[in-house]
Amino acid sequence: MKLYLKFLSIHLRSAMTYRSSFFLSCLGQVLITTNVFLSVVFLMDRFQSIGGYTLPQLSLCYAVILAGTSLAECFARGLDAFGRILSQAQFDRIMLRPRPLLFQVLCQDMKPTMFARVLQAAVMLIWALGAGAVRWTPAKALTLALMILCGAGVFFGVFLINACVTFFTLEHIEALNIFMDGPREYGKYPFGVYGKPVLLILTFLVPLALVQHWPLQFLFDRGPAWYGLLPLAALLFLIPCGLLWRLGVRHYRSTGS
């Protein structure tokens, strides 16, 4: 852990070497996601409610997804850049060091500017709560925390799968971004509004609905309390991801001389 913080500090410092770029990139992150959210606001301006949800409720929903993706992206950036790590043979160097491989890959690259988005998510969350999205109980607060943390976990798994595929193809597959950028874009609405097939896929295949749609039902008093614990079940998703990673490492063949 100490080592991880050291790496974080190195990445933070290298990011801040180029000062204006650091701030612009923070600003850019926030602008993009603000844009997405504004589209919801404008729609709501006309229709008052979408799929039976009010604006503060949707804002809560988006804040949860945004916080989850941004946390995952901040810490699992190394997996996103894994194609580069493989093709530039940095993975050879990683294998030459006496630490767990996955841990080192995560240390290779981090994206501190993503914290800007986490901050933005926090602001949206506070606003949504202030606007009365939810009637609070301690159990609901716990569910909310689980949604964000387990959400980050599921996105981490998606990143991991993405990286594992790279072991076999040796290049980043853009198509897989559907599972990364897609949920952030579409996560502004609870997945239920997209219809049953989508909801089923996102419940059982890539369990994003378990950290968003189902626990939201509990938060908004539309579902039973055990829905609030579903985010934990989503973490099971990480098991096949981990197995795939092992398979990938065994399959690894170095490149170049």
Partner 1 sequence: MIEMQGICKTYRVRRREAGLGNAFKSLLSREYTEIPALRDMTFTVPDGQILGYIGPNGAGKSTTIKILSGILRPDSGACTVDGLVPWENRKAHVARLGVVFGQRSQLWWDVPVMESFDLLRDIYRVPAPVYRENLNRLTALLDLGDLLKTPARMLSLGQRMRCEIAAALLHGPKVLFLDEPTIGLDAVSKLKVREFILEQNRLCGTTVLLTTHDMQDIDALCSRVLLIGKGRLLLDGDTAQIRAMAGEDLSTEEAVADLYRCFGI
Task: Kindly state the number of chain residues that form the binding site for partner 1, as judged by CB under 8 A.
Answer: 21
Question: According to CB under 8 A, which one of 99, 142, 145, 225 is a site residue for partner 1?
Answer: 99
Among 1, 2, 45, 135, binds partner 1 (CB under 8 A): 2
Q: Residue 9: how many CB atoms within 10 A of its CB?
A: 12
Burial of 186 (0-12, 13-18, 19+ CB in 10 A): middle
Give the three-state DSSP class for 50.
Answer: strand
Question: Minimum CB separation from partner 1 for residue 171, in Å?
Answer: 13
Neighbours of 123 (CB within 10 A): 11
Stretch that binds partner 1, among 45-53, 56-64, 90-98, 235-243 (CB under 8 A): 90-98
Residue 188 and residue 66 in contact, taking contact as beta carbons nearer than 8 Å: no
Give me the residue label for tokens 């890959």.
105
DSSP label of 236? G
98, 138, 195, 224: which one binds partner 1 (CB under 8 A)? 98
* Nearest by Cα to 214 from 205, 206, 225: 225
Site for partner 1 in 226-255 (CB under 8 A): 250, 253-254
Phi-psi bin for 53: left (phi > 0), alpha (psi -120 to 50), beta?
A: beta
Instruction: Map tokens 């959210």 to a residue.
Output: 37
Figure out which of the listed residues 45, 96, 138, 197 binds partner 1, where binding follows CB under 8 A: 96
> At closest approach, how far in Å is the CB of 170 from partner 1?
10
Residue 41 CB, nearest approach to partner 1 (Å):
40
H/E element, 75: helix 55-75
92 binds partner 1 (CB under 8 A): yes
Q: At its nearest, how many Å lie between partner 1 and the CB of residue 6? A: 6
Q: Is 22 in the site for partner 1 (CB under 8 A)?
A: no
Instruction: Catalog residues that contact partner 1 under the rule CB under 8 A.
Output: 2-3, 6-7, 10, 13-14, 17, 89, 92-93, 95-99, 250, 253-254, 256-257
